[in-house]
A and B are shown apart, each in its own frame.
Chain A
């Protein structure tokens, strides 16, 4: 689920309160007929909490938690990719030409033709374009904005 531990709410922020109520008893999936099950999961406002039975152990899960975890996992992989690309870019360069962060490196691609040429060669070798990198960057920025 979304983490709200570090959320700072200011006086001008808009807030909306959502309330969920438990509608029905906790049952085993096999106790619910397929028509009823399909009817419930088709509802966009349904929140279904699943205690997953794995070898007798129950692990709580729900679709929102899976989605949130997938977003964080994807961003972690993108971060690892940043590190690998930056390592390749910095290889063999004098220290003052190296970048420590991917964000600063990416910003310089537009402003510095030497950086752009070297970076484009790397992206080309990876069969990726600047647009691809922007897609990854935008997604990380979106995630970071959500978790503020």
Chain B
């Protein structure tokens, strides 16, 4: 998955898919602290929401 600024101007379905990709990817993120998934989800929801 590659994140580009351009996607922030695209339609909601693409943003929704990007958000889902980000959330699906979270378990693969290495060396994360226990609170990271919850915090990262809020972060991603603002970016793609």
Residues of A within 8 A of B (CB): 66-71, 73-74, 76-78, 80-81, 84-85, 126-128, 131-132, 135-136, 138-139, 142
Residue of B nearest to A70 (CB): B28
Instruction: Determine whether the beta carbon of A70 is less than 8 Å from that of B25.
Output: yes
* Residues of chain B having any CB pair with chain A under 8 Å: 1-3, 5, 8, 22, 25-26, 28-33, 35-36, 39-40, 42-44, 46-47
CB-based contact B36/A135 at 8 Å: yes
Interface majority SS on A: helix, strand, loop or mixed? Answer: helix
Specify which chain A residues have a CB less than 8 angstroms from the CB of B30 in the assembled complex. 67-68, 70-71
Q: Which residues of B contact A67 (CB under 8 A)?
A: 28-30
What are 10 A-to-B residue pairs whose CB atoms are below 8 Å?
A68-B30, A69-B1, A71-B30, A73-B3, A77-B43, A77-B44, A80-B8, A81-B46, A127-B42, A128-B42
